[in-house]
């Protein structure tokens, strides 16, 4: 019987009926301070969480103040973090856009500053950053610092608020785990994954922070690798929050001011590792001495080119080990399928993708097609 490797994105949690989208989190972040919820209060008390330390988060403030300007992207927190980080870096490189020759702050003159920033890209973020530095400039003592140091202090403030935002996200997702698995005790929704026999024996690579497949399919934690870290409020496994939450680095140039925002840096300092490679390297032998085939099922993941490094490594190891393998990419609708194909072409190259689909090493199945999944699974 073939081995199974599951590669799961947030679409998997959503398919299981879980409220784990950024939109769900942002609603929680707003209501937790304004609406009374006895169940939530009990959860916070039992876990010794002081929710007040997370009030007035600057990233959430930015989103709430600029929803109408941000359009469909307002609930994509990673885009928002990227825009804020880029705006801070813009002023670091162009301090004359923030300061007048007299040393006064341009944001003091609101109308002129807004007009000037509206001529720039990412204007909403730059206006917000200017507003925050002007608001805190004297009370934080930044007026006594050189320009570069003042902007550095502003940057440190936003890095701290990113850490707090990550902690608040961990609290929310842990609360959802409590509600879904302890209180409501949800069961798996019907998906194409139902075609997999003994799914509890699968190895799992998750781009999520939650333990949804471990709870619903009883996949052992020992056979699970959380690419971006995992929620662990009680810190049973780790001394620090291992959740990787930020922006992707662009190119190989290292910008020390942006490093704390970047996922690669967080993966290093939070030691998320590359355990997933072992799932592809390790090969079982059949009773006849032949290498057992591997079904690699990708569910609920858009195959974003930002994750190129990881998917490239998975394909490379599978090719090198020379066992029979098949990547089965599930999709929600035809639009999602086209997006996955496009992203695979970016990651693998068009010729390589044509080769892999021609050899049936890569196939596509609708995420609710149980019979279709059975037909393409390797024995």
Torsion angle, alpha carbons of 219, 223, 228, 231, to 10: 50
CA distances from 67 to 80, 83, 158, 364 (A): 11, 14, 19, 36
Separation between Cα atoms, residue 3 and residue 368, nearest integer Å = 21
Q: What is the mean pLDDT of the chain?
A: 92
CB 348 within 8 A of CB 310: no
Please list, in sequence order, all residues whose beta carbon lies within 8 angstroms of the beta carbon of residue 123, skipping any fewer than 6 positions away. Answer: 117
Confidence of residue 311 (pLDDT cuts 50, 70, 90): very high
Same domain for 14 and 27, yes or no, is: no
Same domain for 7 and 146, yes or no, is: no
Provide the pLDDT for residue 264: 77
Pairing verdict, β 224-226 and 203-206: parallel
Residue 256 in any domain: the answer is no
Torsion angle, alpha carbons of 257, 258, 261, 267, to 10: -100
Using DSSP's 3-state secondary structure scheme, residue 169 falls into: helix
Is the pLDDT reported for residue 20 higher than 80? yes
Residue 10 in any domain: the answer is yes
Provide the pLDDT for residue 175: 97
Of the listed ranges 167-181, 285-299, 307-321, the least confidently predicted one is: 285-299
Mean pLDDT value across residues 272-284 = 89
Higher pLDDT pick, 286 / 337: 337
Is the pLDDT reported for residue 331 higher than 70? yes
Same domain for 206 and 355, yes or no, is: yes
3-state secondary structure 69-101: HHHHHHHCHHHHHHHHHHHHHHHHHCHHHCECC
- Phi/psi of residue 262, nearest 5 degrees: -90, 140
Is the pLDDT reported for residue 61 higher than 90? yes
Of the listed ranges 66-75, 99-108, 126-135, 360-369, the least confidently predicted one is: 66-75
Separation between Cα atoms, residue 23 and residue 182, nearest integer Å = 23
Same domain for 9 and 39, yes or no, is: no
CA 222 distance to own-chain centroid:
22
Is the pLDDT reported for residue 144 higher than 60? yes
Nearest to 258 by CA among 356, 159, 129, 325: 159
The total number of structural domains in the chain stands at: 2
Same domain for 211 and 311, yes or no, is: yes
Provide the pLDDT for residue 237: 57
Phi-psi bin for 261: left (phi > 0), alpha (psi -120 to 50), beta? alpha
pLDDT tens by residue, 204-262: 999 999 999 999 999 999 999 999 999 998 876 567 788 988 877 665 555 667 788 88
Containing domain of residue 112, as a range?
Answer: 22-163
Same domain for 9 and 111, yes or no, is: no
Is the pLDDT reported for residue 156 higher than 90? yes
Is the pLDDT reported for residue 82 higher than 70? yes
Same domain for 205 and 152, yes or no, is: no
Same domain for 326 and 193, yes or no, is: yes
Same domain for 198 and 319, yes or no, is: yes
């Amino acid at each position: 019987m073939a081995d199974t490797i599951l590669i799961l994105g947030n679409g998997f949690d959503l398919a299981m009926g879980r409220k784990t989208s950024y939109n769900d989190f942002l609603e929680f972040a707003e209501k937790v301070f304004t609406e009374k919820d006895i169940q939530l209060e009990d959860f916070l008390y039992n876990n010794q969480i002081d929710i007040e330390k997370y009030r007035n988060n600057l990233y959430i403030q930015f989103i709430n103040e600029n929803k109408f300007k941000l359009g469909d992207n307002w609930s994509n927190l990673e885009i928002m973090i990227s825009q804020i980080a880029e705006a801070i870096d813009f002023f670091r490189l162009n301090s004359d856009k923030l300061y007048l020759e007299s040393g006064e702050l341009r944001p003091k003159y609101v109308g002129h500053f807004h007009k000037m920033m509206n001529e720039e890209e990412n204007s909403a973020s730059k206006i917000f950053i200017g507003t925050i530095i002007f608001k805190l400039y004297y009370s934080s003592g930044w007026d006594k610092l050189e320009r570069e140091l003042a902007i550095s202090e502003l940057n440190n403030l936003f890095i701290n608020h990113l850490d707090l935002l990550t902690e608040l996200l961990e609290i929310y997702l842990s609360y959802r785990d409590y509600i879904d698995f302890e209180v409501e005790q949800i069961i798996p929704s019907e998906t194409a994954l139902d075609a997999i026999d003994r799914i509890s024996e699968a190895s799992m690579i998750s781009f999520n922070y939650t333990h949804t497949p471990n709870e619903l399919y009883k996949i052992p934690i020992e056979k699970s690798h959380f690419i971006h870290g995992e929620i662990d409020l009680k810190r049973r496994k780790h001394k620090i929050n291992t959740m990787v939450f930020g922006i992707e680095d662009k190119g190989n140039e290292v910008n020390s001011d942006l490093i704390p925002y970047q996922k690669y840096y967080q993966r290093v300092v939070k030691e998320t590792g590359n355990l997933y490679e072992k799932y592809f390297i390790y090969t079982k032998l059949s009773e006849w001495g032949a290498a057992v085939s591997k079904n690699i099922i990708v569910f609920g993941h858009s195959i974003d080119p930002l994750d190129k490094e990881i998917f490239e490594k998975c394909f490379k190891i599978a090719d090198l080990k020379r066992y029979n393998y098949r990547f089965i990419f599930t999709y929600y609708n035809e639009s999602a399928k086209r997006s996955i194909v496009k992203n695979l072409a970016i990651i693998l190259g068009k010729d390589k993708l044509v080769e892999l689909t021609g050899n049936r090493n890569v196939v596509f199945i609708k995420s609710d097609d149980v019979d279709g999944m059975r037909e393409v699974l390797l024995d």
